[in-house]
Each structure stands twice: as C-alpha cells, then as structure tokens.
Amino acid sequence: MIRLEVEIPPSWGRVNRRYKGKRYRLSDTYKTFKAAIQEACEDALAQGAQPLEGAVSVSMWVYCEPGKTLDVDAVVKPTLDAMQKGGLFADDKQVIRLAVQREDNQDVGRVVVLVGEA
C-alpha cells in the first residue's frame, strides 16, 4: 500500500476559472494541489514504491476543518487525476475499487489516501 497525505483539494467549483469569456483554465489553487499530490507521489516512488500496473484500489479519508464540508465526489476526481499525473498509475480507469469517507470538524483540512493493487 502507498500512503499519501495532502491538504484538502479544491471543490470542482474552484478548479476551473472563467478566462476571456467562455474559455476556462485551471485555477491557481488547483494547480497548487496537483503539484502537492504529484510531489507526494514522486516521494513515494523515490522511496521504493512501484507504479501500479493492474487493477487499483483507492481508499480516501477527507478531514474537513470546523465549519467546512465538502461533497466527497468533489474530492475524488481531482485526487485521482493528480495521482495519475504523479505516476502512481497510468490511467484512472485502472481504479476498480474506491472508498471515500468524510470526517467533519477536524483540526486541519486534509486528505489521506491509501493506494494499492486491488
């Protein structure tokens, strides 16, 4: 199992920012989150973890700060995309098992992810 822990990702509402009319671009907040996930993935791979080639199982725990809540589905897609970009697996289509749990009123907003072979 590979364990990652990063700050809470932005909800999809903040991923895309309107740019010059109807065109959209990724927000700076999302780019920062994606870089943090990619760095965590690269660190795991540098410490001997191997990229997953077959079916993948992902478990996520979303810890929300007091007064803040997130839809768990808003956390899943950007997290999987960033892990794919970080090299843990080639395609998020490899994920055949996904479990997500939200814990409210925690000290720090963060996501803990366990990734392994299914």
* Range with the largest mean pLDDT of 16-20, 34-38, 71-75: 34-38
- Helix (H) / strand (E) element for 58: namely strand 56-63
Cα–Cα dist 10/15, whole Å: 6
Q: What is the pLDDT of residue 60?
A: 94
Residue 78 near residue 105 (C-beta atoms within 8 A): no
Nearest CA to 90 out of 42, 47, 54, 48 is that of: 54
- Is pLDDT at 54 greater than 80 in this prediction? yes
Least confident of 24-33, 35-44, 46-55, 87-96: 24-33
What domains are defined for the chain?
A: 2-117 (3.30.1330.70)
Q: What is the pLDDT of residue 25?
A: 75
Q: What is the pLDDT of residue 52?
A: 95
Percentage of residues in the chain having pLDDT higher than 70 = 86
Mean pLDDT, rounded, for 51-77 = 86
Which pTM was predicted? 0.82
- Is pLDDT at 15 greater than 90 in this prediction? no
